[in-house]
A and B are shown apart, each in its own frame.
Chain A
Amino acid sequence: MLLSPYPTTTERIRVAALWFWCMLVLIFLVVPIFVPVPLSFNSGSFFTFPLAGVSTRWYEVVLGTPRWRAAIGNSLLIGAGATVLATFLGTLTAIGLSDPKFPARRYIVPLLISPLIVPVVVTAVGTYLFYARLGLANTYAGIILAHTVLASPFVVVTVGASLSGFDRNLMRATSILGAKPLTGFLRVMLPLILPGVLSGAAFAFVTSFDEVVVVQFLANAQQRTLPLEMFTGLREQLSPAITAAATLMMGLSILLLIVANLLARRSRQAGAPAE
């Protein structure tokens, strides 16, 4: 479709140049994120190609040493806490927003999205200052609450998208048939939007699991997470263990987000009103 039915030579050259440019852009986009993968299996302790040999020694470091294991445990704990909270609160909010009678929507929606826009250092420094007064700094609860804030916009947007295809007449039908609102929600709405909710949960988990700036300010030595361990490692002394950690983190993110997107797609189809 890029070419007209009877292309001239200059047009062919232009389209070929366009394709070539796009290929370069795609290479630039995709190749860098996979560079750490082969290096993480390097048996030598340098970051350079060609590899000295293939080994899993750096994965043994990341999965075997107490320091990295504690970091992975902390990341999973904080991620789980933030996911549960953000999914619950974000889903409630998205259901409220899907009601056409929601008041002051044009002010509240940008407010709900703003944690994604406010520079994360400002959020982190402010939260540290505020939590220190309340005794919440250096606590798991504090980090989980701060991550819930950062993750909640993703849940609101994802669940909101699956609700946009939800036929609200179904809820009227449940109440006409005598169901209480909660029963109607649990038996009719939730099953239909569940893929959207789960996909929002996956986004929330990945947001918390990848987050490093807030943790850097709020966490004490016992609460260090996997990204924080990586960040300090990158800052202080480069070790190929970091490429192994990066590969693990990337694998988990991509896996979860593929699942989330498949679920989101299914949710849009399931919730769509029958024509």
Chain B
Amino acid sequence: MSSIAISGIKTRTGAMDRSDSLRPLALAAPLLLLLAFSFGAPIVLLLSRAVYEPTIANTLPHTIAALGTDSAAGVPAEPVFHAFAEDMKAAQAAGAIYEFAKTLNTRLPGARSQVLRVARLAGQDAAVTKEAMIKAAPLLGEDQGWAAIRSGTNRLTSFFLLSAFDLRWTDQGTIGAVPAGQAVFTRVFGRTFLIATLVTLATLALAFPLAYVMTNVRPLIAGIVLVLVLLPFWTSILVRTAAWTVILQKYGLLNDLLLWLGVTSDRLELMYSRTGLIIAMTHIQLPFTLLPIYSVMRAVNTSQLRAAQSLGARPLTVFRRVYLPQVMPGVLAGCLLTFILCLGYYITPVLIGGASDQLISNFIANYVNVELNWEMAAALSFVLLASTLGLYVTMTRYLGLDLFKMG
């Protein structure tokens, strides 16, 4: 009787299989569409700015045509300069000259004012000569000036992505390091990874023993401790950063405490310092490291530990050979999560870090807000996003997403 009923259900579900899998997808479709519109598209657009830069090519149609017939390698001949003057005049008239000057300046530092000067000259004198133009803009008489213009006529560019790694195309057509004075980004990425590592290790040192104790006390006490862990977890990063700016002040609570304990004899400068930043970030990230570890530790079968002990293993051996392998997935999940989130920190470094503690996100924001250099912001976003998502994919593949249910 029951087998008949089951086979009946099976034939029905078999016929409806296709529509059955489309219906749940249709329920998720509105959110997926919103994510595509307000999350996917913006990120793709931003990243495209790292490799697609059409301003220079759009401003210089005549120059591009003239360069096509010019065979000189470095500074081109008179006709190209005439074409360039014509383009400058047109850009001046169309109001596009400032955008062009700014864009060229991102590749050729110092070009901005020289471009504007040449454009003014070309506007006044239709028959301006090569000599006069080089006098107004010395960069036009140099190989590197024309190298920048030639590479700019290509709408697709690797310039900004290479710059994000402190690399550039050399005059010989190979990839080489930028001059030491201009190399900033490998240092910033190194600093970001260093601070993320230090914070991750600090949270692990604090979280592991606490999680262990939580799994070995009465449920009531474990519950109270869990609430104490979740309380800061629920408070926003901004509020907690604000709290730390108050605590880390020169005449703040932490300095009061250190003096009272006799640890230091003088008040420390903790605000706008790396120590202060790491303390605050450790506080903010601690629950993220702790919760996955705790959820794995709770599932460990304690009878195995007792079995190991009764077979003669010493406590340290039990811990190392039986306990640690079982809790390792939780430790890895917690640490990876904290590490990934640390890579993207923005608010806390702005408010607590010093000038030399700014992380990669701060540079991205600065390129957008202050320098208006979207291409460089996009290239740095590209590298940051690639590191973050690479780790995220590794994490979900090897550890699964179940460990990241929080609260």
Contact = CB atoms under 8 A, between A and B. Distances in A.
Interface of A: 1-2, 11, 18-19, 21-22, 25-26, 28-30, 32-33, 35-36, 39, 46-49, 85, 89-90, 92-93, 95-99, 101-103, 108-115, 117-123, 125-131, 145-146, 148-149, 152, 156-157, 161, 206, 209-210, 212-213, 217, 227, 230-231, 234-235, 238, 242-243, 246, 249-250, 253-254, 257, 261, 264
Contacts of A95: 24, 27
A130 B256 CA distance: 48
B405 A148 contact: no
Contacts of B229: 29
Given A110-B396, A212-B347, A234-B245, A253 B31 contact: no
Contacts of B41: 130
- Say what secondary structure dominates the interface of chain A: helix
Nearest to A146: B38
A49 B257 CA distance: 11
A111 B246 CA distance: 38
B209 A18 contact: yes
Contacts of A127: 38-39, 42
Contacts of A231: 238, 347, 351
A160 B380 CA distance: 35
B391 to A, nearest CB: 9
Interface stretch (B87-95, B162-170, B171-179, B247-255): B247-255
8 contacts: A18-B213, A28-B206, A125-B365, A131-B42, A230-B239, A231-B347, A234-B241, A249-B236
Given A112-B35, A122-B384, A130-B45, A93 B232 contact: no
B333 interface: no
Interface string B139-168: 000000000000000000000000000000
Contacts of A125: 46, 364-365, 368, 377, 381
A32 B217 CA distance: 25
A212 B237 CA distance: 10
A245 to B, nearest CB: 8
Please list the 10 inter-chain residue pairs (A to B) with the smallest Cβ-Cβ separation, ordered nearest first. A119-B344, A96-B27, A210-B236, A126-B42, A126-B46, A99-B24, A130-B42, A96-B24, A89-B31, A121-B361
Given A26-B228, A108-B28, A110-B401, A149 B38 contact: yes
Contact of A92 (B31, B47, B252, B385): B31
Given A119-B343, A149-B34, 14 more contacts: A2-B216, A22-B213, A25-B209, A29-B286, A32-B283, A49-B253, A89-B34, A93-B28, A126-B42, A146-B38, A210-B236, A230-B242, A238-B245, A243-B246
A264 B343 CA distance: 31
B251 A48 contact: yes
Contacts of B389: 114, 117-118
A257 B381 contact: no
Interface-central residue, B34, B37, B243, B244, by most chain A CB under 10 Å? B243
A124 B359 CA distance: 16
Contacts of A121: 344, 346, 361, 364-365, 381
A126 B43 contact: yes
Nearest to A161: B405
Interface string B194-207: 00000000000011
Contacts, number: 259
B30 A234 contact: no
A125 B375 CA distance: 12
B252 A47 contact: yes
A264 B405 CA distance: 13
Interface string B39-76: 10111011101000000000000000000000000000
Contact of B242 (A92, A110, A120, A246): A246
A99 B39 contact: no
Contact of B340 (A89, A108, A117): A117
A122 B46 contact: yes
Given A126-B381, A128-B368, A130-B45, A32 B216 contact: no
Contacts of B364: 121-122, 125
Contacts of B396: 110
B20 interface: yes
B98 interface: no
Contacts of A230: 238-239, 242
A48 B256 CA distance: 10
B268 to A, nearest CB: 15
B261 interface: no
